Structure 1
């Protein structure tokens, strides 16, 4: 049985602390929980400096997920395409710097997954309200693909999709809850991935929202 056709109950019934999703993709369950107080403080500071916004795709569609960035580079989208920029297009100012807590968490999670020495320079911060989703896509806007991707989930649960190397490959459905971290890189770096529509729920710290920090080496 492959990862993609294994039943969810078999994969998640015993709730291990670490769950391999693919040869170089790993779910670290609850890994971010010790960092949560500092992550929430960092989130507030980031959103004050660069408020969440709904960007548009190159085709003109408004994204259901609100986003902002921190770090030397920030991911943006508009009619000219997807790209990284050193400045917030809304304010013209540099994106807020990457908080130390995110650098520490990303470094530690990447090392646990076998990617020692990871130092991100970009963090995309996504805010999902109930009903928001992220369609399957590859992260291909970075200059090279040698560094892993570290994805941190806070707030209400969501289902992460980890697919293959073609859009129509079957996807593994990965339930994520507050504090979970997914790391993928190496041979799995260019897998398609996404998020199913987030269900209606409430979290005691974040209310009806899911926050996702996605840390990358973009420059």
Structure 2
């Protein structure tokens, strides 16, 4: 295996146990594996209505990760700042409704991690290609910060960076595979987190890309 092609997916990752990442944070290995087909169908339907796009940061930088949204509100970024908006700024229309397959998975994963009654109103869909990354950040644009965050990984593996309440806190690195779900809330709700640069590889379902679905209660 070369240094540049790190993942070829000849075999699935070995069985793994649930892992606590921090207070109120849990990795659920393979939790979404038996729902991949309906999840991808739902994501495709969303993208047909609201295509993936590269947003601009308030500082004017183009984000390397392509994204879109579904739900009552969608997360957006432009020169005026980060925020949730009920309208897709690209079309001027409401974001696509969150498909039931996505809503149900998010609620089930949250319940499995100890958060009953999670009803997300926003799902951010990110597409990563080899070399793209997501720098350390906090999810603090939501009015309701008492609800957890549910993050679903599909396609190429990634390294999830999970730190602490302060940017300078120690950052742990956790491997995420196709179908893995991470849920965090409570004491770790505002912990810094990100994704290391995605390594090259080929996934049998999604090819040379990774999709991440992040569910939040924004309003």
Q: TM > 0.5 between the two?
A: yes
Correspondence for 2:141 = 141
Correspondence for 2:4 = none
Alignment of 1:90-109 (within 5 A): 90-109=90-109
Residue 213 (str. 1) matches residue 178 (str. 2): no
In the TM superposition, what is the alpha-carbon distance from 1:168 to its structure 2 partner?
1.3
Alignment of 1:32-181 (within 5 A): 32-181=32-181
Deviations 1:96-131 (A, max 9, x none): 000101111011100010100000000000000000
Residue 182 (str. 1) matches residue 178 (str. 2): no
In the TM superposition, what is the alpha-carbon distance from 1:170 to its structure 2 partner?
1.1
In the TM superposition, what is the alpha-carbon distance from 1:137 to its structure 2 partner?
0.2
Deviations 1:164-214 (A, max 9, x none): 111111111010010000000011100000000000011111110000000
Q: SS where residue 110 of structure 1 aligns?
A: helix
- Structure 2 distance, partners of 1:196, 1:211, is 14
TM-score by length of 2: 0.93
- Structure 1 distance, partners of 2:143, 2:92, is 23
Deviations 1:21-59 (A, max 9, x none): 112100000000011010010011011100000001000
In the TM superposition, what is the alpha-carbon distance from 1:14 to its structure 2 partner?
7.8
Residue 18 (str. 1) matches residue 18 (str. 2): yes
Runs (4+) off by over 4 Å: none
- Structure 1 distance, partners of 2:28, 2:145, is 21
- Structure 2 distance, partners of 1:47, 1:169, is 36
The root-mean-square deviation of aligned C-alpha atoms, in Å, is: 1.1
Q: SS where residue 63 of structure 1 aligns?
A: coil
